[in-house]
Structure 1
């Protein structure tokens, strides 16, 4: 799914200029990286605020049009107001198709209800992490990674090495030897193996 954003280049800088922008429903931001210089931009706050609620917006290559010129970018940083529902500033990074990117992508857990440790032992699955960092070329970036919990038994743990990734997608933590836990199945104390049909 290609998400598109529209922006204009921003000429004025500084706290006062940014405050005036926000009062007009606009949002200051910046684009950096790739082969270009850092560029100050402004966007429609309302449009961006709703796009930020989309999971895919945080882990997809975005198409941004600045004064009619399109670029491929990744969302890198969002500054939110401490208590208002307001975005204060947003950062995007340009992507090059021939360079690997490091991105955090969400995990989608499936089949928890049919895992033997849940169905037979009345256990509960605990999600240790809900997103992981991956490395790949922009064309290979998945929107999310599916985690199949159907084989989990009481007391078992699923690790990064158990995740099924598409080809050309790597987990940097594994390359460093950090096989971190992703989900664990906690058995109910004293209830495992009990039968109500005695």
Structure 2
């Protein structure tokens, strides 16, 4: 799973746009922690620390431990609002994680053993339909990525979710169909040659 991230925060004593603007002028970002059948907790975090966490590239799929007044709360980032002009973060929503929580996340896919794919060895092209998989998994077992083995796949084959071995404790959030993740298609040169051959045969 992605590395655990930590942020220090302070309680937000006043709500409203004016109070939020004042916080941002001081280099702070308003935020809220909600969920786990508890009252929402309004806080603010240091903008520089938040940007550093965002720059890891896996902020949205990482557990973030937020310390407020010595108390640590395990959370998952759910939404980050950015300023339309400056692109600075202006608000963050964190979902509180209870014990044994399961969560819905999007995890990137990668492809392995391409040299063992007859279709790719013949010049076929891997056409990726889904770059991420929607998974339901334990909050403390979020995978960094899902590696999909393309061994044995030929031109014209499709790779479905049923072909993928998911980590223990993870399952697909889409359960009503065996959806396609990628296909192996013929390159344009191979398609043209096949078309010419069919014309000759005719």
The answer to whether the superposition gives a TM-score over 0.5 is yes
2:143 — aligned with what?
142
- How many Å separate the matches in 2 of 1:82 and 1:183? 34
2:196 — aligned with what?
none
Residue 6 of structure 1 deviates from its aligned partner by 1.5
State the TM-score, normalized to the length of structure 2.
0.84
Q: Deviation string for 1:99-118 (max 9, x for gaps)? A: 32222222233344553222
1:160 — aligned with what?
161
Residue pairs, 1:123-134, within 5 angstroms: 123-134=124-135
2:60 to 54, 58, 61: 58
2:177 — aligned with what?
178
Identify which range, 47-56 or 1-10, moves more after superposition: 47-56
Q: Deviation string for 1:131-182 (max 9, x for gaps)? A: 22211222333232222234332122111121111222111202xx222211
1:13 — aligned with what?
15
Residue 23 of structure 1 deviates from its aligned partner by 1.7
Structure 1 residue runs without a partner (length 5+): none
On the 8 A contact 1:97/1:137 being kept in 2, the answer is: no
Identify which range, 12-21 or 132-141, moves more after superposition: 132-141
State the TM-score, normalized to the length of structure 1.
0.86
- How many Å separate the matches in 2 of 1:151 and 1:82? 47
Task: Describe the shift of the 1:112–1:87 C-alpha distance in structure 2 as closer, same or farther (beyond 3 A).
Answer: farther
Residue pairs, 1:1-198, within 5 angstroms: 1-112=3-114, 114-120=116-122, 122-174=123-175, 177-191=176-190
